[in-house]
Amino acid sequence: MSIHLSEVIAAVINLVIFYFFMKKFFFKKLEAVITERNNMIRKSLDQAEADKLEAAKTFEIAKIEAEKAKETGKGIIKDFKTKAETLYDEIVDEARQEGKLIVKRAEMDADRELENARKEMREEVVGLATILSKKVLGEEITEEVHERLVDEVIQKVGV
């Protein structure tokens, strides 16, 4: 195996021709495709970065809105709790007043019944005193004597 100088020169010349031919027809197009592909990748990366920033902003806004909603909810719950406590207090006060009114009416009814019982007892005592005095004295008594006897009997009985 021998290497001939003419073959080496021919191979080098062919290689140079092939290089210039490739440079003339393919390298510019290949470079344009590679540049276009690099630009497209760069745009995609820039868009992804912009989307990432937008998503982060949206997340922060949503987080703030959720916090506001939580605070608003707490405020609403606090308001309803306050209203419920106020309503409870009003109902309890009204029930107390109604209870006091019922007790007062019952006391008034009891006092009235007691007074009626006293009147009936007094009338009965007066009647008994009159009958007793007629039997003891055996005669009719005057109005003045009758009143005095009734007062004495009432004081003794304690009515």
Query: Residue ranges per domain, the chain?
Result: 5-157
Question: pTM here?
Answer: 0.44
Dump pLDDT digits (tens) for 32-91.
889 999 999 999 999 999 999 999 999 999 999 999 999 999 999 999 999 999 999 999
Burial 63-83 (b: 16+ CB within 10 A, else e): eeeeeeeeeeeeeeeeeeeee
DSSP letter string, 16-58: HHHHHHHIIIIIHHHHHHHHHHHHHHHHHHHHHHHHHHHHHHH
